[in-house]
Amino acid sequence: MKVGIGTIYRIELPNDLRSSQTITLEIEVVHINALRMLPTEIVQHERQLVLYKTNAYYYSKYSTQTQKTIVTLPTDRAESYTQTPKPVAKNEQTITYGPYENVAALTRNEISLHYENNNPFLTVNNMKRWIEVSHWGNIAVEETIEMYHSGAKLKGPFSRLDFQRQQNSYSAVKTFKTSLPAAAKDIYYRDEIGNVSTSSVREMHDQVEIEIRPRFPLYGGWNTYYVLGYNVPSYQYLFNKGNQYVLKMRLIDHVYDDQLLEQVTIKIVLPEYVHNIEFYPSMHDTDIKRLRNEKHYTYLDTIGRPVIVITKRNALFQHIQDFEIHYTFDKIMLLHEPMLIIFSLFGLFCLVIILNRLNFSINHEENNEIRIRIKGIWNQLMEHNIKRTSFYQKLDEVLNTFKTNKDLKIYNEQRKKFEIDFKRIEQTFNNLQTKIKADSIETAEKIAEFQQLDAEQRKITQLLCGNTEKLVNGKIKKQAHGDEEQNLRVKIRDINTRISRILNQY
C-alpha cells in the first residue's frame, strides 16, 4: 500500500499479539540502484565515490519509542555525511544516528552520505538460463550472461601498461567469484572469441567455486559477455514415483556477491512426450512471469521437447530459491529413441543392399570401356611421371658435380640434354590430355593441373640452376646460396606433394 513517498507492507504474525506482549521481528529490505556515483566519471587510478540518501528514522506507520540507525561503510573514508538530527557519531567505518526517542509515525528526515566505495559495481543486464533435462541421468545447464560495470564511468584513455605496473585501479573489476552446485562437472567458460582459460575452478564441500577472470578489466561503463555451462546428475534434482516426476532445482545460481540481474529468462527443456506439466515457483518469488511454452528439437526428436519459459526482473541473491515442475512421463517412451536408431539403421542397410543389386546405368558396357581407357591413360601418366622425377634427380646430381669440378662446358652439355628430355615428356603429357578429353573432362582437367604444377617446378629448377651458376662464378657467397637453395627446395617438395595427391585420386 502506497503512503506518501513510501510503501506500507502488511506482516502477518503466527499468533495474535495480546496487550503488553512483545515480539521481535527481523526485517531485511534490499534496495537496488540506491547509490549514485559522485563524481559520475573518474580517471583510471582514481578512487570511486558514491552518494547515498536515506531516512534517518525508521519509516513506520506506528510511532516508535526508541530507535537507532547504523550505517556501515565499506571503508573508513567518508567525504561528508549529514550531521543532523543529533546525536550523530562516527567510529571508523560505522556512522550511528540516534538513539532517538518517541518518533512519530511516518516521520522522515533525509540524510546524505558521500563516501568511498570501490566494491565491484557489477550488473547483469540480461541473463539467459537454459536447463535441459534428460531421463538418461544428466541435466545440462548453460547460462548466457551480458554484464556491465555500473559504477563511475572511466574518463580518458585506458592504459594497459599503467594497469599492469601500478595495480591500483581501485574501481576496476579484475575477477569475481561464481558458485555452482557441488555436483557440477564438465564446466566450460567461454566468450565470443572462444574458451577462456584464465579462470580457475575450486571444488568445495557444498559448492564449486569458479573465479571468473574476463579477458580485460571492467571499468565503469564497460561490459562483457560470456557463457558458463555445466552438467549435474539428474538423481539429485529429478524424483519420480511411477510415471509421476518432480524436478526441483534453483531458479538462478549465484553469479557474484550482491548480485543484481536486471532481466532473467529461464528455459527448462523437458524430455519428449511428457504431459500434465505444472510449474510451482518458490513461495517468495511472487513476480515471476511464465510465458507461453515453446518446442525444442534436437537429435532423434519427432514431436519436439516442451520448453517452460519463465522471466523475472531484478533478481537478487535472496531469489536463489528452488522451483518445482511436476509432469507425467510414460517410461516405455524411454525406448523410443533406441528403437528409432535400430529401425533406421536396419532400413538403411536394406536400402544399400537393394541399390547394390540394381544397375541404373544407361549403357553399362560403354561405361566400362570408358573407365578402362581412363585407367590405362592414367597408368601411362604415372609411368611418365616416374621418368620425369628421375630427370629432376639426375639434374640434381649434375648440379652437385658442377659445384665440385666447376666444369662449365660439361655442365652446359648435360643441361641442354635435359631440356630436350623435358620437352619430349611435356609433349607426351599433352598427348595424354588430348586423348582423355573425349572420355572424361574431369580427368583432363586433373592432367592439366598436373602439367601446371610441373611447369612451376621447372621454373623453380631453372632458378636453382641459376643460383648454382652464380655460386660457381663467385657472384654470391656460399651462405646466401645455401639459404636460397633451401627455400627453392621447400617449394619443390610442396609441388611434389600436390602432384602425388593428384595422382593418388585414381
- Mean pLDDT, rounded, for 15-33: 86
201-260 pLDDT per residue, tens:
899 888 999 998 888 888 888 999 999 999 999 999 999 999 999 999 998 888 888 888
Instruction: Return the pLDDT at 228.
Output: 93
Report if pTM > 0.85.
no
Cell, residue 117: 566505495
pLDDT over threshold 90, residue 369: no
pLDDT over threshold 90, residue 113: yes
Residue identified by cell 531485511 is: 28
pLDDT band at 130 (very low <50, low <70, confident <90, very high): very high
Percent of the chain predicted with pLDDT > 90: 34
In whole angstroms, give the CA distance from residue 329 to residue 241.
Answer: 11
Query: Using H for helix, E for strand and C for coil, what is the string for 244-270?
Result: EEEEEEECCCECCCCCEEEEEEEEEEC
Peptide bond just before 85 cis, omega within 30 deg: yes
In whole angstroms, give the CA distance from residue 173 to residue 170.
Answer: 8
| HSE toward the beta carbon, residue 112, CA cutoff 13 A | 9
Q: Are 334 and 272 in contact, with CB atoms under 8 Å apart?
A: no
42: helix, coil or strand? strand
Q: Are 171 and 264 in contact, with CB atoms under 8 Å apart?
A: no
Instruction: Return the pLDDT at 277.
Output: 92
pLDDT over threshold 80, residue 370: no
pLDDT over threshold 70, residue 481: yes
Strand pairing partners for 139?
133, 232
pLDDT over threshold 80, residue 167: no
pLDDT higher at 440 or 269: 269
Burial 240-270 (b: 16+ CB within 10 A, else e): eeeeebebebbbbbbbbeebbbbebebbbbb
* CA-to-CA separations, 372 to 158, 365, 382, in angstroms, rounded: 71, 11, 15
Instruction: Return the pLDDT at 395.
Output: 79
Residue identified by cell 550511528 is: 96
pLDDT over threshold 60, residue 16: yes
pLDDT over threshold 80, residue 284: no
- Mean pLDDT, rounded, for 425-451: 79
Range scoring the smallest mean pLDDT among 16-20, 167-171, 220-224: 167-171
The four Cα atoms 27, 28, 29, 31 give a dihedral, to 10 degrees, of 160
pLDDT over threshold 80, residue 505: no
Instruction: Return the pLDDT at 364.
Output: 54
Instruction: Return the pLDDT at 485.
Output: 79
Strand pairing partners for 404?
none
Q: Are 308 and 290 in contact, with CB atoms under 8 Å apart?
A: yes
pLDDT band at 324 (very low <50, low <70, confident <90, very high): very high
Q: Helix 441-472 vs helix 364-405: angle between axes, to the nearest 10 degrees?
A: 0
* DSSP state letter for 225: E
pLDDT over threshold 70, residue 103: yes
Instruction: Return the pLDDT at 166.
Output: 66
Instruction: Return the pLDDT at 46.
Output: 86
396-427 pLDDT per residue, tens:
887 778 778 888 788 788 888 888 878 887 88
178-206 pLDDT per residue, tens:
999 999 999 999 988 878 777 888 998 88
pLDDT over threshold 60, residue 362: no
- The mean pLDDT value of the chain amounts to 85
Query: Using H for helix, E for strand and C for coil, what is the string for 299-356?
Result: CCCCCCEEEEEEEEEEEEHHHCCEEEEEEECCHHHHHHHHHHHHHHHHHHHHHHHHHH
Instruction: Return the pLDDT at 387.
Output: 80
Domains, the chain, ranges and CATH? 2-30+49-116 (no CATH), 122-335 (2.60.40.1730), 364-503 (no CATH)
pLDDT band at 5 (very low <50, low <70, confident <90, very high): low
Instruction: Return the pLDDT at 145.
Output: 93
pLDDT over threshold 60, residue 3: no
Q: Are 294 and 309 in contact, with CB atoms under 8 Å apart?
A: yes
pLDDT band at 498 (very low <50, low <70, confident <90, very high): confident
Torsion sign (Cα): 424, 426, 430, 431:
positive
Q: Are 129 and 252 in contact, with CB atoms under 8 Å apart?
A: yes
Instruction: Return the pLDDT at 37.
Output: 92
pLDDT band at 458 (very low <50, low <70, confident <90, very high): confident
Residue identified by cell 558514491 is: 50
pLDDT over threshold 60, residue 380: yes
Instruction: Return the pLDDT at 360.
Output: 64
The four Cα atoms 79, 81, 83, 87 give a dihedral, to 10 degrees, of -110
* CA-to-CA separations, 182 to 202, 204, 230, 233, in angstroms, rounded: 10, 7, 11, 11
| Torsion angles phi and psi, residue 241, rounded to 5 | -135, 105
| Torsion angles phi and psi, residue 348, rounded to 5 | -65, -45
Best-predicted range by mean pLDDT (4-18, 42-56, 185-199, 465-479):
42-56
Instruction: Please state whether beta strands 78-81 and 110-116 pair in parallel, antiparallel, or not at all (unpaired).
Output: antiparallel
* Residue 56, Ramachandran bin (φ over 0: left; ψ between -120 and 50: alpha; else beta): alpha
In whole angstroms, give the CA distance from residue 154 to residue 396.
Answer: 66
Instruction: Return the pLDDT at 100.
Output: 92
Measure the N-to-C terminal CA separation of the chain; round to a whole number of Å. Answer: 85
Question: Got the DSSP string for 381-427?
Answer: HHHHHHHHHHHHHHHHHHHHHHHHH--HHHHHHHHHHHHHHHHHHHH
- Mean pLDDT, rounded, for 21-36: 87
151: nearest Cα among 34, 32, 259, 37: 37
